[in-house]
Amino acid sequence: MLTQEALLSCLPPLAYDRAAPGVQAEVTAAAAVLDEADSQIDLVLDEHQPGKAVLSLPDWERNHGLPDSCAGGVAASVDVRRLNLLERMIGRGNLSRPYYIQKAARLGYPGCTITEYGPMSCADPCDSPVNGIEFVGVWRLNVPVATAVRLMSCDSPCDSALASWGNSNLECAITKRRPAHTKVLFGYPTN
């Protein structure tokens, strides 16, 4: 049964002339609103799920403190924003290597590895780095792809670095989630 017919059948038969132009116009307008609402019910349900939200995504982000300082002012796609939201809601992080490797991969850097440092001991091979006690809790995320490499040129100021590299979004996201008692370094390829 169409919505318009259903509304007409709800009118008291003696009080209204269902064929009157005013009644027909009113019922047609009300039916259009109800049909539009009915067609949007799936959208409303999707907006209540952060992994599917589009129109309510800014509200979800605001409620969970996003975008955060790691975004760097870069406009992210809706899919990336949803992933960030879901990670903020359910991804609390942990102390495992796979967590940080997967986080880097989600940010667009697959294939990362982690190197852990510590002070040298008598049991280490002779060619090990001579690290002191300050290397307890130091680890490095090794990023296999070159990113944002900037080389000094003839036009650069005399006091600029010969080369600099890094990715502030990746470094911010990993540093923000690192265990508080650790220090994280980032290794990028130089070629």
- 41: pLDDT strictly greater than 70: yes
Grade residue 78 by pLDDT with cuts at 50, 70 and 90.
Answer: confident
Tokens of 56: 């309510």
Distances (CA, A) of 16 to 39, 74, 95: 29, 60, 72
Q: Which residues contact 140 (CB under 8 A, 6 or more apart)?
A: 114, 115, 117, 184, 185, 186, 187
Q: Once rounded to an integer, what is the mean pLDDT over residues 69-98?
A: 76
Residue 1 has pLDDT above 60, yes or no: no
pLDDT of 89 above 90? no
Higher per-residue confidence, 182 vs 14: 182
Chain position carrying tokens 């003696």: 14
What pLDDT, on a 0 to 100 scale, did the predictor assign at position 115? Answer: 92
For residue 167, is pLDDT > 60?
A: yes
Look at 152 and 59; give whichever has higher pLDDT: 59
Per the prediction, the chain carries an average pLDDT of 83
Digit-coded pLDDT (tens) for 106-146: 778 889 999 988 887 888 788 877 777 888 889 999 998 76
**Cβ(160)–Cβ(144) under 8 Å?**
no
Residue 67, preceding bond cis, omega within 30 degrees? yes
Position 191 pLDDT exceeds 70: no
Residue 168 has a pLDDT of: 79
| CB neighbours of residue 129 within 10 Å | 10
